[in-house]
């Protein structure tokens, strides 16, 4: 077993990075081959480096990485090639007999794949587990972005059965789960799914706080369907040479992400409209690869995207992350905010634009109005004979009119909101019919973050500190 000093020196000499203590502890735990490992650390802190460090101490060793996105596999393989490490990304496109023959013949030191290919019953990997010359060289199986084991299992069901691999692989091969967000409820689900026993795992936990990212939670002041709360990104009549900070806007609805991209493009001169694009899983792999590179190189200013974009990617200088609507949980929100300025020498901003209906002050104001009789009368359905049907009155306290909402803007908000006159002129989409809609439930931790001004600790970061146990730094322990 190499010493801490040996691990640090060899990593710096060959890979060009001086590893931190927690990274050295991860490598030590992997090389012991006695327990599974779970490592939690902030985005941009160097989790990927720990994938390759063990290869420096196992001459003919093999690392297997299960990644949620094929683009991450391609990125890793390309980076390893520069270091002289031979790797391959195995997807449905190249999961051929010849590919697995090359793997069986020990052609590659790094194998990156997705859960569908990796967990295919009687597939290429199932056959490899029976080939001792291959399995004897496998150092570990890495579950990159491990929260996906829990969070993505509903639409990628192969994650649900991934634990069966514990009974197919030799005992000396540990699972290594790494991620930036792992609250206790998700941790328990990941352990259960992957069959990681509490008496056979190490956990190495760093704070996932991002001190170089400032957080702003802001109430929308315009109807959501107008998208005018995002108009600050593109000022009217921008001066020649003007450009916004490199940005990502996250949505949980593809159609809405496209609509916002079109809204922002309309505010630009025709020759600059290509600088803002939408990005989602419906697009071809080639397009996604090209647009990711254009954003990295500064040829695109910003993207309107969904969950997967930016996860684990080498994009160090995204200056502004925006979450549109309170439509995700806190774990997902922090994953998205964590994609800001992964270069820790830079400063970035994360803006959470939230509908008024989720703010306690707005809920109280609506309740007072209803009690005072100021709320508009609710329409009742008519029966087939034309009489009103009073059997289905809407009486729930958390229902409210969702159009035409307004509220005071904080003086220290980071974003500029255009005047009402400018906003009406810029509006490019209809607001739809006015109506009454039930307020969707959100988790308590996210509610605390949104309504932090009404909480004992009036800080938007505090719910994150509590939820993710960010005060636990540098801990190495048995689960």
Give tens-digit pLDDT for 166-182. 999 999 999 999 988 88
What 3-state DSSP class applies to 218? strand
Whole-number Å distance between alpha carbons of 421 and 424: 5
List the alpha helices (DSSP H) in 108-247. Answer: 115-118, 124-128, 132-135, 148-151, 184-193
Q: Where does residue 249 rank: exposed (0-12), middle (13-18), buried (19+ CB within 10 A)?
A: buried
Q: What is the pLDDT of residue 403?
A: 31
CA distances from 399 to 42, 327, 346, 373, 424 (A): 38, 17, 42, 15, 27
Strands 399-401 and 436-438: antiparallel
Residue ranges of the chain whose pLDDT lies below 70: 308, 310-312, 374-439, 472-479
CATH 3.40.50.300 maps onto the chain at: 4-209+471-478, 213-359+394-460
Kindly calculate the radius of gyration of the chain based on its CA atoms and give it in whole angstroms: 25
CA distances from 60 to 84, 197, 400 (A): 14, 29, 64
CA-based nearest residue to 149, from 110, 192, 113: 192
Strands 475-478 and 201-205: antiparallel
CA distances from 283 to 110, 203, 299 (A): 28, 37, 19
List the alpha helices (DSSP H) in 112-270. Answer: 115-118, 124-128, 132-135, 148-151, 184-193, 254-266
Q: What angle do CA 111, 115, 116 make, to 5 degrees?
A: 110
- Tell me the per-residue pLDDT of 55-101, one tens digit each, with 9 for 90 and over: 999 989 999 999 988 877 888 898 899 888 999 999 999 999 999 99
Q: List, in sequence order, every beta strand (DSSP E) within 209-272.
A: 213-219, 247-250
| Fold of the 213-359+394-460 domain | Rossmann fold (3.40.50)
Q: What is the pLDDT of residue 427?
A: 32
**Which is the CATH superfamily of the domain at 4-209+471-478?**
P-loop containing nucleotide triphosphate hydrolases (3.40.50.300)
């Amino acid at each position: 077993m190499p010493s801490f000093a040996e691990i640090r020196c060899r990593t710096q000499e060959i890979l060009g990075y001086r590893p931190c203590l927690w990274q050295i502890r991860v490598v030590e735990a992997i090389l012991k081959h006695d327990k599974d490992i779970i490592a939690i650390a902030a985005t941009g802190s160097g989790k990927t480096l720990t994938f390759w460090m063990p290869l420096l101490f196992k001459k003919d060793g093999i690392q297997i990485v299960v990644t949620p996105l094929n683009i991450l596999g391609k990125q890793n393989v390309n980076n390893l090639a520069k270091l002289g490490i031979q790797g391959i990304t195995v997807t449905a496109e190249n999961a051929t007999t010849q590919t697995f023959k090359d793997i069986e013949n020990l052609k590659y030191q790094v194998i990156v794949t997705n859960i569908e290919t990796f967990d295919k019953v009687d597939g290429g990997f199932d056959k490899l587990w029976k080939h001792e010359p291959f399995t004897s060289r496998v150092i570990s199986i890495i579950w990159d972005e491990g929260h996906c084991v829990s969070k993505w299992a509903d639409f990628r069901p192969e994650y649900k059965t991934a634990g069966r691999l514990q009974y197919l692989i030799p005992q000396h091969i540990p699972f290594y789960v790494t991620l930036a967000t792992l609250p206790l409820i998700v941790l328990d689900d990941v352990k259960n799914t992957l069959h990681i026993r509490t008496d056979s795992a190490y956990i190495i936990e760093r704070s996932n706080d991002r001190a170089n990212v400032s957080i702003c939670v802001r109430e929308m002041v315009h109807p959501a369907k107008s998208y005018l709360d995002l108009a600050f990104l593109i000022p009217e009549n921008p001066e020649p040479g003007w450009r916004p900070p490199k940005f990502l806007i996250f949505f949980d609805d593809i159609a809405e992400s496209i609509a916002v991209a079109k809204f922002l493009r309309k505010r630009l001169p025709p020759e600059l409209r290509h600088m803002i694009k939408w990005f989602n899983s419906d697009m071809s792999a080639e397009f996604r690869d090209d647009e990711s590179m254009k954003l990295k190189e500064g040829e695109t200013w910003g993207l309107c995207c969904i969950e997967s974009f930016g996860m684990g990617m080498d994009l160090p200088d995204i200056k502004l992350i925006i979450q549109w609507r309170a439509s995700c949980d806190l774990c997902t929100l922090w994953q998205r905010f964590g994609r800001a300025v992964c270069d820790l020498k830079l400063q970035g901003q994360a803006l959470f634009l939230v509908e008024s209906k989720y703010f306690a002050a707005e809920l109280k104001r609506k309740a007072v109005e209803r009690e005072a009789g100021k709320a508009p009368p609710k329409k009742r359905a008519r029966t087939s004979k034309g009489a009103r049907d009073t059997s289905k009155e809407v009486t729930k306290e958390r229902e409210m009119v969702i159009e035409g909402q307004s509220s005071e803007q904080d003086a220290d908000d980071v974003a500029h909101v255009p005047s009402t006159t400018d906003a009406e002129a810029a509006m490019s989409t209809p607001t739809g019919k006015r109506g009454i809609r039930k307020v969707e439930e959100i988790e308590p931790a996210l509610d605390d973050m949104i309504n932090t001004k009404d909480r004992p600790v009036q800080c938007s970061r505090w719910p994150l500190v509590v939820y993710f146990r960010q005060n636990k730094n540098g801990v190495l322990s048995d689960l």
